[in-house]
Structure formats: structure tokens, C-alpha cells
Copies of this chain bind each other. A is one copy, B any other.
């Protein structure tokens, strides 16, 4: 056995060089040959037509959390997985889920206008006229009945309120109207509420999501004037999942927060999403200053900030029901390591019919399961357990996955090797994010799967895109020279969040996109008719996703040595630290210069007096920050990871210590958890990855440090440097112990 390991441990290094050969990271030459044959068999069982059928079948009815359509989808998925040979179960949680009973938005003066709040049925879209569709709303809006002047706040980001302040416009006691985009939607009402607004309207501007982008539905895929983006505004950067049961599973008898009014991740103001059709009269009635250049959209009039003579009435009331949230969990028990779980998941609930989001990803997952079922029939069984999951309640707040993860936290931290997520999937380029120790692993997979349109590897196509999109000659050259896949850091927005950020389980998020651009997202027009015309007409990218995620799952299940490489993580964190040091230096320089400019009155002198725009306020000067604790920790981590890789390449691993190596390695990322979690949001425990407090889905890497710097909280920056350094030191020590 020993020699065998020697030969492939040498191969563990430099995956990129080997990508096109018949070697696989973590497999001996012999095992790799078997694995490649297995993957060929697996691929042969994937059918684009079948993926198309599944998408059609599962999107035939609206199937949001708690709905009749949802029950049918759950049963359908359960039955499929059982039929493929999986040991499946439905896991129920009892969760809060508000649905609208009253939605009124009207303008009472200067003109009378009542918002339509309705997407019309289209003859070109078979499911668009169905009943049982959830109307357009933002889940977790507060109940409310408010009447006030309206103020346009651009994208509703903190910087936009700085501009408003300079213009002397206060949103206190007012209703704000914000454009979708530039941040996750929930940030907009949160920041509005922080500034004293009593209501928030979010609309899709055709500049970002409509005719400016391309022909509108049904002529083309982009948002027509009536389309509305539904969506959750739960403040899930505090914690996701059922708002009443943070940190624990929302089981029947779980201890709950007494009322949604007391849930710390729910807002207090009414919030409603509307179409640009409905936004036009509201925006046109605004007076006050002309909106700055970056604020203006593509509607055919001059954007003003407001307020004006117009008064807006927003009345929203919701049924705050407890509903059943059902995950389908299906397992193929591993033959050698049944307690090492390779988990693969995609949600099944949609806002409406959800052909793209989530069914296109769910259909690919089910196709993988079908192909694995076919492998099982040949007598093959995985070494490690394969756990295929279909999550409920993702749309309102990652509920199904979060509750399951919270419910099974201890077991998962013992057994979960990796969590592989997907979600909506479209024609285009491989988009891969996740734990950076898996970067070489994903590079190898991306290099070994062929893009359906161009007949080159996914890796080569992603590289071509990076080259063409590079903004400078230097960036182009760098992109040309690059041979590995850039794994993106993960923020939030899909079901990987609780695995990675709450438990420290290595995660991947995989999907294709970039060529299916459209405006159907979270609207009634996310339908099969739309999908087959515009998103992935041949369903070839469904197959590509099945191959990518399926090979990832199979390789993780079958690897002799688990293909983590923490040297990539080290390099990645080193990059983040360098970036933060640069950001801090630049902030210091910029603050000093800006303060001088402000103090010397240059703003007043340079600004058109007719604009009545005051200067920005001076900011506190930026001190020099001691990054040495994290620099030293990273230096140690580099020694540890280099040493670990040398131990691997040396003849130190034998069949007797292979197990301890593997379990050691897959649990390593948990060492990066912060005992206290992040400031003001202890649910988030990962020291390296978190969704941004003011960006939402968008990731903040080294979040504790980065957000302290962004908020100019230097005491906290220091504490968070220490906390992250401690986590990194803990990882180093842990890796040193892997034998």
C-alpha cells in the first residue's frame, strides 16, 4: 500500500499541470483510471432532454414555501430520489412565513394614482395566468399603514444617504423609494429604517432591469413594465433561517422567540416591491433637486429626489402563519466511510413557478441522482456517503437548509466532508465559489469538463472570459498567464451559508450563467416557456452543471486522500490582508486629503450655488493599524501548510493513518470559526467569509476586520485582527497535528 500512496502523493502537487492528463488529485493512478471510467459512465446517464422535462414538470405550478404546489414538488422529488435508489426522508420544520393579505400603494396628491401591483398573464407564457401565485411582495415586511411624502434614495445605500444629507434632505418620517440593484434588496429598507424612514418602496428601474438592457418579455428576456421582483428582506446578515429560532432547528417543539415583532432580524417598517409601470407616476411627482448623474435610470423623464407635493399611502398587512418547511434528504450510504458525508443540495421552493430559480439547478441535481442511481444498478457504491438534499424555504431566508444545519450541527461538524450547492442555472460560464482549499480540486474539474457551446474546457472558457473582460493590458496579461480557476469567496444568497459560515464546513457553490440575462427573476415570468426560449434552450448547461457538481461529489466520495490544499487558502488570506493594509493606507491618505479640502472650503467654492449642496463632513483621521498579529499568524500558517504538503509527498501516509489524515483534513476549516462569532451577529462564525453587513449577498472577506475598517472603528479592527489571527493560529496548530 505504501508505495501506491507515494506515487500519487507526489501528484497532489501542481494540479493545474496535470489537469489534462489522466490523473486526479487525491487518487492513485489506478484509482484515477477507475474514477474516470466511473465519470464516463455517470455522464452517459445524463440527458439534456430529461433535465428539460424535469424543469417543465417541477415548474408547472407555483410552489412557494407552505403551498399546495410545494407539497407536490416535494413529493415528486422524494419519489424520484427513492426511485433512483436513495434512502430518502422528508424532514419537516415548523417555521414562520408571512404572506400578504393587504397591499395598497397609492398617491393621493397631486394626482390620484393607485398602483397596479399585478403582473398580467401573457399568451406566450402558459403558466403566467395561474392562480395560487404569491402576489408581488417583500417577505418579512412589517405590517403597516403609513402616509407620507416620498423621497427617491437611489439604490438606498449608506453613501446615498450621505448625498441626501449634503442636499439637506431628511427621510425621517417619510417613505423612500429605492431602485433594485447594487446591494441585496434587504439592505435598502434596513438603511432606510436606520435613517428614520417609515416605509420603503423598491422598484426595478429599466436601466438596470428592463428595456435598457434588451428586449422585454415576451419579445425578449428582459423585464417588462409590469414585472416585479419578489424577495425576502429578512435582515439575514444578522442570521438567516426561521426568524423565531436562531441557532437551533425549528422543530415542532423548539423554543421560539415569542413573536416576529421581537425577532432581531426583522425590520419594523412596511416594504413593497413594484414594477417600473407603477413607479413612473410616483417618480414623476417628485420635486426638489435633480437626482445626481449616478442616480438616474432609464425612465423618460428627469429624475428628481423629492420630496414634492405628492403624498403616498402605503398599507400592507400579512398573514404571519406557521407553515411546514420540508427538506428532502436522500442518502446513499458509503461503503468504507459511511460517517463521512459528501452533501449536495439545491432548494426546491420558488417565489412563483421558478423554472430557473431554483428548478434549473434542482433538475440538474436530480439528473445527477438519476445517474448515480444508474451506477448503483451496476453494483457500484460510493466509499463515502452521498447525501442529496432538496431544500425548502430558501427564498424567504435560506430556511430549510439553515434549520437542518442548526438542527444537526454537531453531527454535521463531525461528518460533513463538503457541501456542494447549486441554485438557478443558465447558459454561459462556470461560476464557482467556495472554500479556497478546494481551488486546485475545482480547477481540475473545470479543466476536465467540456463547455457545450465551444468544445473547450470550462476552465479555458472561463479564462477566455476573464481575458476579454480584463480592464487593462496588465490585467489581460495576468489573465492570459493564469492556469487555475479563481474560486470566488462566498457571501450569501443561497443554501451554502449555514454550512460554511455557521459551522465551518467546506463548501462549494456551482452554476453557469452570464448568457441567459433577463428580467424574470422572482417574477411570474420565471417560467418554463421563458426558460426554454432564453435561459438554456437546449438544456445543455443543465447537463454541464450535473457533470460539474456530480464529478465534484463523486470525487469527494471516492478520493483516497481528500483533495484539500490549504496552501491555496493561505495564499488567498495573504491576499486579503495585503488588500486590507492597502485599503487602510489609502483611507488614511484620502481622509487626510479630503479633510484638508473640506477645511479649506473648496467644496463651497467649486459647487454651483444654485444646487444648495453642502460639503461632505470631515471624517476622523485614520490611525496606523497593527496588522502584525495576522501577518505573523499567516507566516505560521504558510509553514504549516507547506509542511503538510511535504508530509503528503513524503512517504508518511500509509493505509493505517490515511483515515486520520482524511478526517483531520475535512474538519480543518472549522478551526477558522471565531468562538464569539462576528461583532453584532454572532451566528456568523467564519473568520474569513461572511455576507456584508451593508451589502447582503456580497461577500466580505476577513469580515470582522474589513467591516471595522470600513466603519472606522479602530478599536474593533484591532480586536478583530487578534480574533482572526487566533483562528488562523488555531488552524496552523491543527494542521501541524494532522498525521
Q: Per-position contact with B for A246-278: 1 when CB-CB < 8 Å, else 0?
A: 000000000000000000000000000000000
Select the stretch in A129-137, A350-358, A576-584, A606-614 that faces chain B: A606-614
Select the stretch in A366-374, A433-441, A585-593 that faces chain B: A585-593
Question: CB of A158 within 8 A of chain B?
Answer: no
Given A473-B590, A593-B473; A453-B609 close (CB under 8 Å): yes
Name the interface residues of A461-487: CB closer than 8 Å to any CB of B.
461, 463-465, 467-469, 473, 476-477, 480
By the criterion CB–CB under 8 Å, are B605 and A456 in contact? yes
By the criterion CB–CB under 8 Å, are A212 and B480 in contact? no
| Nearest CB in chain B: distance from A474 CB, A | 9
By the criterion CB–CB under 8 Å, are A606 and B464 in contact? yes
Using CB atoms, name the residue of chain B closest to A534.
Answer: B610
By the criterion CB–CB under 8 Å, are A302 and B212 in contact? yes
CA distance A225 to B693 in the complex (A): 44
Which residue of B460, B468, B608 contacts A515 across the interface (Cβ within 8 Å)? Answer: B608
Chain B residues near A427 (CB, 8 Å)? 608
Chain A residues with a Cβ closer than 8 Å to the other chain, count: 52
Which residue of B299, B477, B596, B602 contacts A468 across the interface (Cβ within 8 Å)? Answer: B602
CA distance A469 to B597 in the complex (A): 12
CA distance A514 to B453 in the complex (A): 51
Select the stretch in A58-66, A215-223, A381-389, A543-551 that faces chain B: A215-223
Chain B residues near A590 (CB, 8 Å)? 473
CA distance A301 to B607 in the complex (A): 34
Name the interface residues of A685-720: CB closer than 8 Å to any CB of B.
none
Question: CB of A603 within 8 A of chain B?
Answer: yes
| Nearest CB in chain B: distance from A154 CB, A | 15
Question: CB of A404 within 8 A of chain B?
Answer: no
Question: CB of A604 within 8 A of chain B?
Answer: yes
Name the interface residues of A199-221: CB closer than 8 Å to any CB of B.
206, 211-216, 220
Using CB atoms, name the residue of chain B closest to A466.
Answer: B606
Question: CB of A290 within 8 A of chain B?
Answer: yes
| Nearest CB in chain B: distance from A679 CB, A | 29
Which residue of B212, B473, B605 contacts A296 across the interface (Cβ within 8 Å)? Answer: B212
Given A476-B593, A480-B593, A602-B464; A299-B302 close (CB under 8 Å): no
Chain B residues near A596 (CB, 8 Å)? 480
By the criterion CB–CB under 8 Å, are A216 and B302 in contact? yes
Using CB atoms, name the residue of chain B closest to A214.
Answer: B290
| Nearest CB in chain B: distance from A68 CB, A | 37
By the criterion CB–CB under 8 Å, are A465 and B589 in contact? no
Name the interface residues of A161-190: CB closer than 8 Å to any CB of B.
none
Name the interface residues of A550-600: CB closer than 8 Å to any CB of B.
586, 589-590, 593-594, 596-597
Question: CB of A454 within 8 A of chain B?
Answer: yes
| Nearest CB in chain B: distance from A727 CB, A | 33
Using CB atoms, name the residue of chain B closest to A596.
Answer: B480
Question: CB of A317 within 8 A of chain B?
Answer: no
CA distance A216 to B590 in the complex (A): 37
Given A220-B302, A298-B300, A593-B473; A605-B212 close (CB under 8 Å): no
By the criterion CB–CB under 8 Å, are A467 and B597 in contact? yes
By the criterion CB–CB under 8 Å, are B608 and A211 in contact? no
Chain B residues near A603 (CB, 8 Å)? 464, 468
Q: Per-position contact with B for A300-324: 1 when CB-CB < 8 Å, else 0?
A: 1110000000000000000000000
CA distance A300 to B216 in the complex (A): 12
By the criterion CB–CB under 8 Å, are A461 and B300 in contact? no
Chain B residues near A610 (CB, 8 Å)? 515
Chain A residues in contact with chain B, CB under 8 A?
206, 211-216, 220, 222, 290, 296, 298-302, 427-428, 453-454, 456, 460-461, 463-465, 467-469, 473, 476-477, 480, 514-515, 586, 589-590, 593-594, 596-597, 601-610
A-B contact pairs, 16 of them (CB 8 A): A206-B300, A212-B302, A222-B302, A300-B300, A427-B608, A456-B605, A463-B602, A465-B606, A467-B597, A467-B606, A468-B597, A468-B603, A468-B607, A480-B593, A514-B608, A515-B610
